Amino acid sequence: MSNAIRVFVVDDHTLFRKGLVSLLSELEDIQVVGEASTGEEAIEIVMGIESDLILMDINMPGMSGIETLGVLRQQGVENPVLMLTISEHQEDLVEAICAGASGYLLKNTEPEILQQTIKQVIAGKSVLSPEITEQVFEMVRSRKIGVEKKLTEREIQMLHLLSSGSKTSQLAEQMSISENTVKTHIRNIFEKLEVSSRAEAVAKAVRLKLI
Amino acid sequence: MSNAIRVFVVDDHTLFRKGLVSLLSELEDIQVVGEASTGEEAIEIVMGIESDLILMDINMPGMSGIETLGVLRQQGVENPVLMLTISEHQEDLVEAICAGASGYLLKNTEPEILQQTIKQVIAGKSVLSPEITEQVFEMVRSRKIGVEKKLTEREIQMLHLLSSGSKTSQLAEQMSISENTVKTHIRNIFEKLEVSSRAEAVAKAVRLKLI
DNA sequence: AGAGCGGGTGATATAAAAATCACCCCTTTT
DNA sequence: AAAAGGGGTGATTTTTATATCACCCGCTCT
């Protein structure tokens, strides 16, 4: 099968890894092209072979799956990496995503779902286990996540004055600071709100109910 | 069909709504028990009938789907609400989740996936469209994830050791710091987690999946 | 009564974030 | 071309957060 998905498996638990490899090998459209029991081993092998997707455990002795992913990305490996772990920790999830993971599945996932997820990831999609999605919802609700970085007090003041039409010289006077500082604050606002003009900044701030 | 899922549909686009209702009605295990074309109408009808799940559009004239959801929750409606929208805006996603949505699907979703998702939501799970999951990844990567009440590295270590039963003297030795410092770290943990004892702190940390 | 342990107040050095400013470039207007 | 305003790079000061420690209080054992 020339168009089978070539999967590489990284997990320190031999029993789990072997079982997973056996399971995946039975599938028509998936081909296991290699396996490793540590991050160090994974890096060495992956750099030398061709593969389409990496299944990576997180908790491993030595390098963690996240550190391993970081090194692989640094070495130019662009393959999608699907984390397959027992960890529901927020920290692991956040770090895995930041390190460049394409998905985050728990090990209690049903084989069919895993198969389905592998195909979705190959298709360029991002996937999370339902439990992890729930975790994300919780993070959002507890405001640990926001749509934008939090603005500081001075930045909010700046936006208020900006929205009432003040220009740089007036802002400087009203806030008792130099014009240079005004501009710096505004630049920081631009970055946080992901905009590039004063008008946009005010519009977005109003929309986000920041002012 | 007594155990069919009773669905209520809210969407201002009549053509889409009618099509959706027709599609859902054909399914064995789903029964459409009502529909509305505005948020106001939805609130009035939903309060008067029995239903298991609400499919809600977001962009509607008058009340938005998010505002409607907010009012419903305020009125004590506990039904899971699945947002079904064309909006991929992060703001809409965040607001929908905060308002109490159980899922967020794009309107380009395949009918079978919609059916599958409705069942998952009824089973208490949280679901996102792949494109939306991608948005979540983006938010995490761009650090819009403020993680405000984040504990420091030392505090996390402390909790790990605490959870394995260490007492002050042992913590001090294991972390190579004085007992006084151990106590200070623990006090800071108390404040951040809003608790007042070690046991509570560990319990809350586990519940928040911080350790 | 005196160890032993959990919990609380205050203090200090260092690291990180916020606030401040000077100077430069580009466009528009005069 | 000079002036004025918006937008950008870099650097410094001030404030806040983190990590560290010393000392005190109150309870519970023995």
ipTM of the complex: 0.80
A88/C4 CA-to-C1' distance in Å: 37
User: Per CATH, is A153-207 categorized as 3.50.50.60?
Assistant: no
What H or E segment, with its residue span, contains residue B72?
helix B65-74
Using alpha carbons only, give the angle A99, B134, A45 rounded to the nearest 5 degrees.
40
Determine, for residues B130 and A150 on separate chains, whether the beta-carbon distance falls below 8 Å: no
Are A5-141 and A153-207 in the same CATH fold? no
Could you please state the CATH topology (level 3) that the domain comprising A5-141 is classified under: Rossmann fold (3.40.50)
Q: Given an 8 Å threshold on Cβ–Cβ distance, is B94 in contact with A146?
A: yes
**Cβ of A37: how many Cβ atoms within 10 Å?**
18
Per CB-CB distance under 8 Å, the chain A contacts of B145 are: 94, 139, 144-146
Q: Give the separation between CA B84 and CA B11, rounded to whole angstroms.
A: 9
Please report, rounded to whole angstroms, the spatial distance between the CA atom of protein residue A139 and the C1' atom of nucleotide D23: 39
Domain layout of chain A by residue ranges:
5-141, 153-207
Flag if B211 and A89 touch (Cβ within 8 Å): yes
Residue B184 approaches strand D within 7 Å at CB:
yes
B130–A130 C-beta distance less than 8 A: no
Query: What is the Cα–Cα distance from B125 to B103, expressed in whole angstroms?
Result: 8
Can you give the pLDDT of all 211 residues of chain A as single tens digits?
558 999 999 999 999 999 999 999 999 999 999 999 999 999 999 999 999 999 999 999 999 999 999 999 989 999 999 999 999 988 889 889 888 999 999 999 999 999 999 999 999 999 999 999 998 888 877 766 666 678 899 999 999 999 999 999 999 999 999 999 999 999 999 998 889 999 999 999 998 878 8
The string of pLDDT tens digits covering residues B53-76 is 999 999 999 999 999 999 999 999
Which protein residues, judged by their CB atom, are less than 7 Å from any atom of strand C? A 150, 152-155, 175, 177-178, 180-181, 183-185; B 167-169, 180, 183-184, 186-187, 190, 196-199
What are the helix and strand counts (H, E) for chain A? 10, 6
